[in-house]
Structure 1
């Protein structure tokens, strides 16, 4: 991988390690949020109890830990760039008594596994952060057995994701947010329908399907939303790092003005949208 992409990878690693404590704190909330996409992935993979499965971008362990419960005579390898995230995954695997789950750190663009090692591959919310998405897909194809399946998901278009767009839009009214370079890593890099499907086709995958999964995610009122964004959402924290105290206060005030009318019984629910793709290796 060329030097510029290696630098992006290293920056990603530092970012996820930095945010791993926040992800641990919010893990129950995050896993509930991500469960619909994780369940779509699990259902698509049709896990057998003897399967060997690779869960790429496993983060704090899902959907790999859930898959491990479905493959008690198989094995699940949770793979991620961040050791900080993987420490949480290992802790959860021990708490759940899942000896068939292991967490391995490394670069998805250079998977440390032999050809045709896995019966299935899951990858929840990972592709948009890979420095070289095509190389990552080719590596997944290489380590997947013939007849195996890859199931992955990414965020769909920003208008379908007010759960993060509400915060970003409010910040944008008070801060000068940089315009991402074409192809830069980021949440909505794969949002264009058909974009990731085309990339998987280039990597050699066949029988590719794509569907949108939508829902709502709930926060404990405006203050709960604010705290979540400040502790878990990397692009928000990065942007807010340039704000003065006065600007930060103005953003919070404007945000609460938007959110307070949406509160029902102290809770706020905001929509999300994702794309779930399933592909086969013939």
Structure 2
């Protein structure tokens, strides 16, 4: 990777390590929130007992831990930049009694595995944050066995994800945020239909497919939504850190107004959507 990309990687590692307590706190909610995409990944991969599986950007362990139950005579290795997130993943594996799940702190652009090691590769919500997505895809291709399968999920467009734009749109009204560099890591970097499928094809994958999955999430209340977003969303916390108390109060008030306007009869439901992309070696 280029020096600038290595710098991004180190910043991401520090950020995920810093926010791992928030992810541990909200793990049950977040894993339920992301489960529809993990389920779609698992369905696409057609896991067989005995499969050797690599779960990249495993975070607190999913969908790798669910996959491990599907291949009791195989193994799942979860990789992530953040050692602290991997510690949570191992705690979750122990709590669930899962013995065939291991973790390795690793950069997706420099996977520490020999060629043709794995039957399948899963990667839920990782690609849009990889500094070099093409290199990441090539590494995934390299470590897959011939005929191996890959599936990933990435966020669809901002208009389909008010769960995050509800708060970010208000923050951007009151805080001047630096414009991201073209192609730099970000939530909606891979949101164009066919974007990841094209990267897969460039890496050598064939029989690619793409599916849009749209879901609804119930936060139960605005206060719960607000608390969670400030516990787990690094860009939101970073933006709010530069605001004075009055601005923060205004942002919270206006975010609540927008949140409530998107619901009826006291509900606390927002939409979210992602693409699940599949390929074969």
TM class by shorter-chain length?
over 0.9
Structure 2 partner of 1:116: 116
Deviation at 1:4, TM superposition (A): 1.0
Structure 2 partner of 1:160: 160
Q: Judge conservation of contact 2:68–2:75 (CA < 8 Å) in 1.
A: yes
Residue 109 of structure 2 is aligned to residue 132 of structure 1: no
Q: Distance in 1 between matches of 2:262 and 2:128?
A: 30
Q: Any unmatched runs of 5+ in structure 1?
A: none
Mapping of residues 78-97 of structure 1, within 5 Å: 78-97=78-97
Structure 2 partner of 1:223: 223
Structure 1 partner of 2:232: 232
Q: Distance in 1 between matches of 2:123 and 2:18?
A: 21
Residue 200 of structure 2 is aligned to residue 192 of structure 1: no
TM-score under structure 2 normalisation?
0.98
Structure 2 partner of 1:74: 74
1:140-175, CA deviations, whole angstroms, 9 ceiling, x for partnerless residues? 000000111000000000000000000011111111
Q: 1:116 is paired with a residue of what secondary structure?
A: coil
Q: Judge conservation of contact 2:260–2:266 (CA < 8 Å) in 1.
A: no
Residue 110 of structure 2 is aligned to residue 102 of structure 1: no
Q: Judge conservation of contact 2:230–2:237 (CA < 8 Å) in 1.
A: yes
Structure 1 partner of 2:65: 65
Q: Judge conservation of contact 1:50–1:75 (CA < 8 Å) in 2.
A: yes
RMSD of aligned alpha carbons: 1.1
Q: Distance in 2 between matches of 1:260 and 1:112?
A: 47
1:183-202, CA deviations, whole angstroms, 9 ceiling, x for partnerless residues? 11011110111111111111
Deviation at 1:263, TM superposition (A): 5.0
Q: 1:189 is paired with a residue of what secondary structure?
A: coil
TM-score under structure 1 normalisation?
0.97
How many equivalent residue pairs? 281
1:14-35, CA deviations, whole angstroms, 9 ceiling, x for partnerless residues? 0100110000000000000001
Q: 2:174 is paired with a residue of what secondary structure?
A: coil
Deviation at 1:266, TM superposition (A): 5.1
Q: Judge conservation of contact 1:221–1:260 (CA < 8 Å) in 2.
A: no
Q: Distance in 2 between matches of 1:167 and 1:239?
A: 11
Q: Distance in 1 between matches of 2:266 and 2:69?
A: 35
1:99-149, CA deviations, whole angstroms, 9 ceiling, x for partnerless residues? 100011011100000100000000000001111110010000000001110
Q: Distance in 2 between matches of 1:105 and 1:277?
A: 24
Deviation at 1:261, TM superposition (A): 4.1
Cα gap change, 1:101/1:265 in structure 2, threshold over 3 Å: closer, same or farther? Answer: farther
Structure 2 partner of 1:45: 45
Q: 1:209 is paired with a residue of what secondary structure?
A: strand
Deviation at 1:265, TM superposition (A): 6.7
Q: Distance in 2 between matches of 1:195 and 1:11?
A: 25
